[in-house]
Amino acid sequence: MTAVSAFLVPGSPLHLLRPDNPPWRPIVAGFERAARALAMSRPDAVLLYSTQWIAVLDALWQARPRLTGAHVDENWHDLGDMAFDIRVDTDLAEACVNAVKAAGISSKSVDYDQFPIDSGTIVATRLLDPDSRFPLVIAANNLYHDAATTMRMAEIATATARVQNKKVAVVGVGGLSGTVFREPIAIAEDRVAAEKDDSWNRRILRLLEKGETGRLDAEVDDYAREARVDMGFKHLAWIRGAIGGRFFGARVHGYGPAHGAGAAVIEFRL
């Protein structure tokens, strides 16, 4: 068993802060279904990677036992703050740091009061696990890591959990297409900003649904470039690394816009 469940979810604050906005309902509803699936899979820990937690020196892993507070997004501050209460599986996190380091990827844990927790991590944990039932291992997106390194890290993290006899769920937090509206819009009219992005997103979602990993591998780089995918879709690499590359299809629980960008809640069939 590599992982008991796996999800790709968006990290935009919009869906958490304005869940009733009609164009954002499909994502919010998708999160509700994914949250039920996550709970049913009963993980001992959740391995989460967020494109919005940016690192540049090492691979960073959160190792503070409990993270609480209220975060205000840099861009969406007018929509209010996001309270969070996150528990970290520090044993597993520290073991991941050591194992990833041993594999030759410079790695560090962070354990600091008031360390800035990114919006994506908060949105995903609030919407996937509203009661904070599952402890997390949270990894940063090092800008210099490619998809292969990201996959390798997730693979090592899953193997490390196995050594500790822990069942893990895997979560990759990030968006799909990246063309956004750069000026304020009437949020009730939000949509995926570029038609080309929308068709790319739908095409990739179909490949994921059917589990066509071969075609996915062939197309994912073009998709990432042409549709300006959030961080080159490294959040998918994280998931695929953790689940051993293959999966048997996926359920798209929700697809929609985030101020023009593409977003989807996806559950992988393992």
Partner 1 sequence: MANGEIVAGFLAPHPPHLVYGENPPQNEPKSEGGWEPLRWAYERARESLDQLQPDVLLVHSPHWITQVGHHFLGVRHLSGKSVDPIFPNLFRYTFELEVDVELAEACCEKAAQRGLTAMMMRNPKFRVDYGTITTLHMIRPQWDIPIVGISANNSPYYLTTEEGLDEMDTLGKATREAIEATGRRAVLLASNTLCHWHFHEEPDTPEDMSREHPQSYDGYKWDMRMIELLRQGKTAEVFRLLPQFIDEAFAEVKSGAFTWMFAAMGYPELPGELHGYGTVIGTGNAVMEWNLVKAGLAGAAVPPSAAGGRESYAGAMR
> What is the binding site for partner 1 (CB under 8 A)?
53-58, 70-72, 74-75, 77-78, 80-81, 106, 110, 112-116, 144, 180-184, 259
Question: Tokens 């844990």 identify what position?
Answer: 109
Tokens representing residue 242 in the block? 């953790």
Strand pairing category for 250-258 and 261-268:
antiparallel
End-to-end CA distance of the chain: 9
**CB closer to partner 1 out of 2 and 119:** 119
| Residue pair 147/245 in contact by the 8 Å Cβ criterion | no
CA separation for the pair 202, 29 (Å, rounded): 18
Which CB sits closer to partner 1, 53 or 134? 53
Please list, in sequence order, all residues whose beta carbon lies within 8 angstroms of the beta carbon of residue 66, skipping any fewer than 6 positions away.
85, 86, 87, 88
Cβ at position 113, least distance to partner 1 in Å: 7
**Least Å from the CB of residue 72 to partner 1:** 5
Residues 187 and 19 sit within 8 Å (Cβ to Cβ)? no
CB of 51 to partner 1, least distance (A): 14
Among the listed residues 31, 9, 28, 30, the one whose alpha carbon sits nearest the alpha carbon of residue 17: 28
77 or 210: CB nearest partner 1: 77
Is 1 or 112 the residue whose CB approaches partner 1 more closely? 112
Using the minimum distance from each CB to partner 1, give the nearer residue, 43 or 256.
Answer: 256
Q: How far is the CB of 244 from partner 1 (least distance, A)?
A: 29
Shortest approach of partner 1 to residue 31 CB, angstroms?
A: 22
